Structure 1
Amino acid sequence: MKYVLIGTGNIANTYLAAIGKLPNSQVVACVSRSGRRPSTAPDLPCAASLAEITIPFDAVIIGTPNGLHHLSAVEAARLGKHVLTEKPLDIHRATMDAMIDACRHAGVTLAVAYQRRTNPDNITLKRLFEQQAFGRIFAADLSCKFWRDQAYFDSGAYRGSWEGDGGGPFMQQACHNIDTYLWFFGMPAEVTSHFATFIHPIEVEDHGAALLKYENGMIGTIIASTAARPGLPARLEVHCEKGTFVTLDDRISYWAIDGIDNPASAAPAANGNNANSAAVTDTARHEDILRDFEAAVRDKRPPLVDAESARQTTELILRIYGRQ
């Protein structure tokens, strides 16, 4: 598959490295409004808009600020190109619907890079949840206490803004973990939340907490922060009638479930935690997402993270922000 990168920030380098490990795929060009090329591919052909790309290509990878994802997705769909976008799908309900409608009308695949779903332990847990192996689950507590210094927010005018990022750690840093949470437990019936800005001079929150109530009675909590210095691993604690398990950065770290041996994978950790850095240096999980995306296109099947599923993640975050 031949790709065009839309956006040339740090995440573009991640995709260049990941695609470089796929023998039959390549990045043939990039789109940058500023004309800046990815730092690891200074000679990559570059244009100011997708319409200006004359090199044949099959799909785009969108790595622009969150609030701009829909613009590139709709344009790519009109050109008949498949779309893989960085998380989140977008930050507004109407723009997400526009992306989904445009890609459906054009008959192209639209996928989202919530790559934590490909972690081996998460895949195992998802299967156990589907088998109802834990019995009744009554509590699931997700803690995403990360740290970002001011230099991070100063690195782009859109960072820490409602228009660009669409929110603080709930929408930007913890949405990967929230996506996995939803993948496991589904959408809650009720959401109550509190959030504020404590450390950084930004317009969005840098710390908050949400209380989730499910129709089956389960009570969940989500804490998301970029103010928790020095940054801690993302932690999920699940309590059920058969016991308790804990994951740290998507790996099972504690297991006390009656009748089920600890299924923790022996595979090396991949895509580490984002406790104190936005950089992604391990591309294994992005490689997984790319392989799945290409297989979905080839086999004409939904990708692992399809747009409708990813839309639910943004929907929950909007409800946490009180945007019903």
Structure 2
Amino acid sequence: MKYVIVGTGNISHTYLQALQALPASEAVGFISRSKTTEATPGALPYWPTLAAVDRPYDAVIVTTPNGLHHHSAIEAARLGKHILVEKPLDISQAAMDAMISAAQQHHVTLAVSYQRRTNPDNQAIKALLEQNAFGRIYAADLSCRFWRDEAYYASADYRGGYAIDGGGVFMQQASHNIDNYVWLFGLPESLQGELDTFAHQIEAEDHGAVVLRYANGMIGTLVASTCARPGYPPRLEVSSEKGTFTLLNDCISEWYIDGIDNPASSVPPAPDGGASTPNVSDSSRHEAIITDFEQAINQGTTPLADGSDARRATELILRIYHCRAREV
């Protein structure tokens, strides 16, 4: 498939790298209102809008700031182009509804790059949960203790604000991990939490802790931070009727489950995984999500993280922002 990448920020380089690694995929250019040809990643052509693109393409990859995703996605749908959106889908219920509706109306595929779902260990845990192999799940505790310096937030006016970024660490840095959590366990029945801003000069939170209560009785916790210098790999600890296991940066690191062999793959955890920097040097998981996206389109199936399913991560984050210290 041929792609136009909307946006030329840091993450667009990762998508370009991923497309270059896939022999049947190709980036034909970028949408940018500010870049020159020389400054465009890969020195590919650029256009100010999708309507101005003058060469054939099949799909767009949206890499603009969070709160702008719906603009490009809806425009692409109206042009009959498939849409892969960098996480999150968007930052409001209304924007997400409009994106999903536009994709359905124009019969195009809408997916989100929640590429942690492609990790073999996450997929193994998902399959076991669907089989009820662990029995009753008692607790699922997710820790996203990351670090971002002040220079990161100062690099763009919108960073760490609500209008464009959609919030702080929960909407931005921990969004991938929260999506994986919701993918595994679903949405809670109720929640309560505390958020605050400690180490950075930003509008939104840079640290928070939330307790989740599920209809089946499970108690979950989410801790997300960009104050935890130097930054630590995300960690998910699960306690169940059959025992306990731990995922460290999406790879099984501890397994004490009765009667079930450890399904850990031989793939070691990535050394950083976004814990201390926004830069993504390894594009392999983006390659996997693009491959899944193309297979879904070609086979008429649902992608791994389609728009309707991927929106649940934003739904949970918005509930967290509205709860603060009261139950909702």
Q: Same fold (TM over 0.5)?
A: yes
Deviation at 1:268, TM superposition (A): 3.9
The answer on whether the counterparts of 1:271 and 1:281 sit within 8 Å (CA) in structure 2 is: no
Q: How many residues align?
A: 324
In the alignment, which residue of structure 1 is the partner of 2:310?
310
Q: Once superposed, what is the RMSD of the aligned Cα atoms?
A: 1.4
In the alignment, which residue of structure 1 is the partner of 2:241?
241
The answer on whether the counterparts of 1:292 and 1:303 sit within 8 Å (CA) in structure 2 is: yes
State the TM-score, normalized to the length of structure 1. 0.97
In the alignment, which residue of structure 2 is the partner of 1:161?
161
The answer on whether the counterparts of 1:271 and 1:285 sit within 8 Å (CA) in structure 2 is: no
The answer on whether the counterparts of 1:153 and 1:159 sit within 8 Å (CA) in structure 2 is: yes
Q: How does 1:55-204 map to 2 (within 5 A)?
A: 55-204=55-204
In the alignment, which residue of structure 2 is the partner of 1:279?
279
Q: Distance in 2 between matches of 1:232 and 1:288?
A: 24
In the alignment, which residue of structure 1 is the partner of 2:289?
289
> What amino acid is aligned across from residue 286 of structure 1 in structure 2?
H
Deviation at 1:77, TM superposition (A): 0.4
1:145 and 1:319, CA in 2 relative to 1: closer, same or farther beyond 3 A? Answer: same
Cα deviation 1:37-78 (Å, max 9, x = unaligned): 696735211111111111111100000000000000000001
> What amino acid is aligned across from residue 67 of structure 1 in structure 2?
G
My pick for the range that moved more, 265-274 or 96-105, is 265-274
Q: Which runs of 4+ in 1 moved over 6 A?
A: none
1:317 and 1:36, CA in 2 relative to 1: closer, same or farther beyond 3 A? Answer: farther
In the alignment, which residue of structure 1 is the partner of 2:49?
49
What secondary structure does 1:116 align onto?
Answer: helix
The answer on whether the counterparts of 2:14 and 2:280 sit within 8 Å (CA) in structure 1 is: yes
Where in structure 1 are there 5+ consecutive unaligned residues? Answer: none
> What amino acid is aligned across from residue 161 of structure 1 in structure 2?
G
Q: Distance in 2 between matches of 1:29 and 1:40?
A: 9
Deviation at 1:15, TM superposition (A): 0.6
In the alignment, which residue of structure 1 is the partner of 2:231?
231
What secondary structure does 1:191 align onto?
Answer: strand
Q: Distance in 1 between matches of 2:269 and 2:38?
A: 27
The answer on whether the counterparts of 1:8 and 1:38 sit within 8 Å (CA) in structure 2 is: no
In the alignment, which residue of structure 1 is the partner of 2:300?
300
> What amino acid is aligned across from residue 315 of structure 1 in structure 2?
E
Q: Distance in 2 between matches of 1:5 and 1:270?
A: 26
Q: Distance in 1 between matches of 2:209 and 2:172?
A: 15
> What amino acid is aligned across from residue 303 of structure 2 in structure 1?
P
What secondary structure does 1:61 align onto?
Answer: strand
Deviation at 1:269, TM superposition (A): 3.4
> What amino acid is aligned across from residue 218 of structure 2 in structure 1?
M
Q: Distance in 1 between matches of 2:8 and 2:62?
A: 9
What secondary structure does 1:121 align onto?
Answer: helix
Q: Distance in 2 between matches of 1:72 and 1:130?
A: 35
In the alignment, is residue 250 of structure 1 matched against residue 261 of structure 2? Answer: no
Cα deviation 1:90-111 (Å, max 9, x = unaligned): 0000000000000100000000
In the alignment, which residue of structure 2 is the partner of 1:260?
260
What secondary structure does 2:70 align onto?
Answer: helix
Q: Distance in 1 between matches of 2:42 and 2:157?
A: 23
Q: Distance in 1 between matches of 2:26 and 2:270?
A: 22
